[in-house]
């Protein structure tokens, strides 16, 4: 997660981009509970962006704002532009780059010696705003272009609202669980990640969700792809909630 710090990494001389990249390679979060996309695509991309941001002299909070700029640009294109294959590519690209920068801010914070509560607050608020705005933009697109998407029936307008509800509750529930549950003992070995779980989490990974916008020009194709991911979000939600409640009940 993002976080501003009061100085550069642990009083050391300023690193080159290559040195920063190597250090970041050894300072990654545990892969437990992370999908294959985030583990093998988004985190490595964020690592490169974090090293570049370090060389450019950016703070973690500034990187968070860069992530927000890309994300909200994609959201604005989705809500305001006519849906087409090229529009879908632009939306996907902006959202995917924004997601990579969302990983970079936390990695940069760790490289610089640790984050701050204000930085984490900014990161979470931006993430919540992007999630809310993105599903709202889909709702706007469905309403503005019913002929293209085949959303003339009001029932289809409920899909983004239900998807949004599941996404926000999942986001808040996971965040609150991390804040409330007991921390692992310092120095303990991180748990081994499960490949099966990493695959199972793909339908609810934000990077995979971004990919569905490549179908924007397909009209009904996008509607069904988005709807299926919405169904996955709704079905996974009670599983996550039960798991988190049990963890906090121990």
Count of structural domains within the chain = 1
Whether residue 156 lies inside any domain: the answer is: yes
DSSP track, 17-71: HHHHHHHHHTSPPP-TT--HHIIIIIHHHHHHHHHHHHHHT--HHHHHHHHHHHH
Residue 5 within a domain: no
How much is the mean pLDDT over the chain?
A: 88
pLDDT digits (tens, 9 = 90+) for 42-52: 999 999 999 99
User: What global pTM score does this model have?
Assistant: 0.88
pLDDT-based confidence at 190, cuts 50/70/90? Answer: low
In this predicted model, what pLDDT tens digit does every residue of 64-104 receive, in sequence order?
999 999 999 999 999 999 999 999 999 999 999 999 999 99
User: Does residue 56 lie within any of the structural domains?
Assistant: yes
Q: Does residue 27 carry a pLDDT above 70?
A: no
Model pLDDT, residue 65: 97
Q: If residue 200 lies in a helix (H) or strand (E), which one and from where to where?
A: helix 195-200
Residue 142 within a domain? yes
Q: Considering the domain boundaries, does residue 41 fall inside one?
A: yes
In a domain, 152, yes or no: yes
The whole domain housing 167 covers: 16-181+192-249
Establish if 216 belongs to a structural domain.
yes
CATH number of the domain encompassing residue 74: 1.20.120.1760
């Amino acid at each position: 997660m993002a976080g501003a710090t009061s100085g550069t990494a642990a009083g050391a001389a300023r690193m080159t981009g290559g040195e920063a990249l190597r250090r970041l390679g050894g300072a990654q979060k545990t892969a437990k509970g992370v999908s294959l996309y985030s583990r093998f695509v988004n985190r490595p991309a964020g690592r490169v962006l974090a090293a570049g941001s370090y060389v450019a002299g950016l703070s973690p909070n500034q990187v968070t704002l860069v992530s927000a700029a890309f994300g909200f640009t994609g959201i604005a294109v989705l809500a305001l532009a006519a849906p087409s294959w090229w529009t879908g590519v632009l939306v996907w690209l902006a959202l995917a780059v924004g997601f990579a920068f969302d990983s970079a801010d936390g990695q940069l914070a760790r490289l610089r010696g640790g984050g701050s509560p204000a930085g984490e607050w900014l990161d979470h608020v931006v993430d919540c705003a992007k999630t809310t705005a993105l599903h709202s933009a889909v709702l706007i697109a469905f309403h503005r272009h019913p002929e293209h998407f085949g959303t003339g029936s009001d029932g289809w307008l409920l899909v983004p609202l239900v998807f949004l509800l599941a996404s926000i509750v999942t986001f808040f529930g996971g965040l609150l669980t991390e804040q409330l549950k007991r921390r692992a003992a310092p120095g303990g070995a991180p748990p081994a990640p499960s490949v099966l779980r990493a695959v199972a989490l793909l339908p609810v990974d934000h990077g995979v969700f971004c990919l569905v916008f490549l179908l924007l020009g397909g009209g009904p194709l996008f509607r069904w792809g988005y709807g299926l991911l919405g169904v996955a979000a709704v079905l996974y939600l009670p599983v996550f909630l039960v798991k988190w409640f049990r963890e906090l009940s121990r």
